[in-house]
Amino acid sequence: MGEVEVKLLGSWMSPFVRRVQWALKLKGVTYEYLEEDLKKKSPRLLNYNPIHKKIPVLVIDGKPIAESPVIIEFIDDMWKHNPILPIDPYERSVARFWAKFIDEKLSNVVRMALFSEGEEQEKAVKESIESFEIVERELFKEKTLIGAGEGIGYLEIILGSFCTWLPAIEEGAGFKVFDSNKFPLVNKWMTDFLELSIVKEDLPPRDRLVSYFQQIRHFVLATKK
Amino acid sequence: MAEEVKLFGLWGSPFSRRVEIALKIKGVKYEYIEDDLQNKSALLLKYNPVHKKVPVLLHNGKPIAESLVLLEYIDETWEGNPNLPPDPYERAQARFWAKFIDEKCLPALWKALFGEESEQEKAMEEALQNLKMLEKELKDKRLFGGGGGGGGGGGEESIGLVDIAANFIAYWVGIIQEAVGAEILNRERFPVLYKWIDELLSCSVIRENLPPRDKMLAYFISRVQAAKASK
């Protein structure tokens, strides 16, 4: 099979972009990284993702793919070695189920908490905590997640990217969702996850992320009024 | 070992019907169990403790939930008549649009039809925009396609993931519009989408796996009346 030209439109501060970078790294795929300024979206970004106007966007021989879970599945379909999703269809369905839950009930809800205040923020924080309770109770029931040292797959990428970014979002926005005492299983898993070299290298500095989330929160709240 | 396939569903749910369509296209034999919403059956709570919702598929005792997850599971488990194409890029596009339908189209449509009055206008605008984007994606295809043979003649050969995922748009929206007295989807505004609706509903596997129109309409009318009464 011939070489394909791979580009990734991203932003240093996005956990969703990080997911795609981990996936590409796992496959050993060479790609060109293009940093996008989200305050002033480029014609390139708008051309490649006219529907959502968001990053990440993977561009394969000039053809774009958007939405991080879709991109990761594409990467797995395209390069067959070092599979990212489980092989067994049932295990794949479990991984997809939880990936969807994490994005809809954690990522999205935490974003709402980041960009709201007062009662609206309280509600989002409460919902996020409830979602973590479900993850602690249900996800860790079976051996669904790969343990530390065994590697990193689809669900680990999805959950791990969110959990890695969460402390900076919490600090930037001034709320608390993740109590490590309340969620010991998630906490243990996260601690081990952060030790993986693929995760550790190139993580944006915490204070830079906190500062970013503080600023973006301020900006969004100001424009809401 | 005999294969055991059970589907917990709801007669009026588009999500439940998606799974039935996918199973039927593959020719998979399954036992259908209607969920009684009033008394969420103990079985449903056992098999979908996270969402407590249908559809849930039980395959040899193992439960799977979430209709789009199920469509992929069905494609990967049973041979023949795939709903996703083999090319990785085309698969990605199909997944992208199915996600767009569930995360953007359906919530906007629902809000435009049932939301608080204060939200409706904005939701309507969003719904129209989303439908335009979806229509644009159809281009000159009869179906969103990507499938590999739904049996029979006509468009059935290429019913794909996106066609199945868009069932709410093809069938439920028209019924709900009538029940609430709104008009978002009409032939003048969306001629290409309507051609797709006609094509999709002409496929017997789709048509035979939709709730009866009059029963569905009666359900939504009573829902609207109940909402008015509670104000």
Q: What is the pLDDT of residues B18-69, one digit of tens each?
A: 999 999 999 999 999 998 766 667 888 899 999 999 999 999 999 999 999 9
Q: What is the pLDDT of residue A216?
A: 96
The two tokens of residue B29 are 């034999």
What average pLDDT is seen over chain B?
91
Q: Are B176 and B220 in contact (CB under 8 A)?
A: yes
Cβ within 8 Å, pair B66-A96: yes
Q: Of B50, B59, B104, B94, which is closest to residue A98 (Cα–Cα)?
A: B50
Cβ within 8 Å, pair A96-B69: yes
Query: Model pTM?
Result: 0.95
Q: What is the pLDDT of residue B49?
A: 93
* A interface with B, Cβ–Cβ below 8 Å: 51, 60, 63, 65-67, 69-71, 73-74, 77-78, 89-90, 92-94, 96-97, 100-101, 134, 138
Which of A51, A66, A100 has its CB closest to that of B69?
A100
Task: Determine what percent of chain A is predicted with pLDDT higher than 70.
Answer: 97
Q: Are B63 and B48 in contact (CB under 8 A)?
A: yes
ipTM of the complex: 0.96
Tens-digit pLDDT profile for residues B137-171: 998 888 998 777 544 444 445 899 999 999 999 99
Cβ within 8 Å, pair B96-A67: yes
Cβ within 8 Å, pair A70-B95: yes
Mutate to test the interface with A, among B47, B50, B75, B76 (most CBs of A within 10 A): B50
Q: Are A60 and A31 in contact (CB under 8 A)?
A: no
In Å, how far from its chain's centre is CA A136? 18
Mean pLDDT of A112-135: 97
Q: What is the pLDDT of residue B17?
A: 98
The two tokens of residue B48 are 């979908």
Which residues of chain B have a CB within 8 Å of the CB of A60?
Answer: 89
Q: What is the DSSP string of chain A?
A: -----EEEEE-TT-HHHHHHHHHHHHHT---EEEE--TTS--HHHHHH-TTT--S-EEEETTEEEESHHHHHHHHHHH--SS-SS-SSHHHHHHHHHHHHHIIIIIIHHHHHHHT--HHHHHHHHHHHHHHHHHIIIIITTTT-SPPTTS---HHHHHHHHHHHHHHHHHHHHT-----TTT-HHHHHHHHHHTTSHHHHTTPPPHHHHHHHHHHHHHHHHHHH-
The two tokens of residue B79 are 């041979």
Q: What is the pLDDT of residue A148?
A: 55
Residues in CB range of A53: below 8 A, 6 or more apart = A41, A45, A46
3-state secondary structure chain B: CCCCEEEEECCCCHHHHHHHHHHHHHCCCCEEEECCCCCCCHHHHHHCCCCCCCCEEEECCEEEECHHHHHHHHHHHCCCCCCCCCCHHHHHHHHHHHHHHHHHHHHHHHHHHHCCHHHHHHHHHHHHHHHHHHHHHHCCCCCCCCCCCCCCCHHHHHCCHHHHHCHHHHHHHHHHHHHHCCCCCCCCCCHHHHHHHHHHHCCHHHHCCCCCHHHHHHHHHHHHHHHHHCC
Q: What is the pLDDT of residue B40?
A: 65
Q: What is the pLDDT of residue B44?
A: 85
Mean pLDDT of A202-212: 95
Q: What is the pLDDT of residue B152?
A: 41
Shortest Cα–Cα distance, B20 to chain A (Å):
17
The two tokens of residue A96 are 């997809």
Which of B72, B88, B92 has its CB closest to that of A96?
B72
Which residues of chain B have a CB within 8 Å of the CB of A133?
Answer: none
Instruction: Find, in chain A, the residue whose alpha carbon is nearest to that of B59.
Output: A90
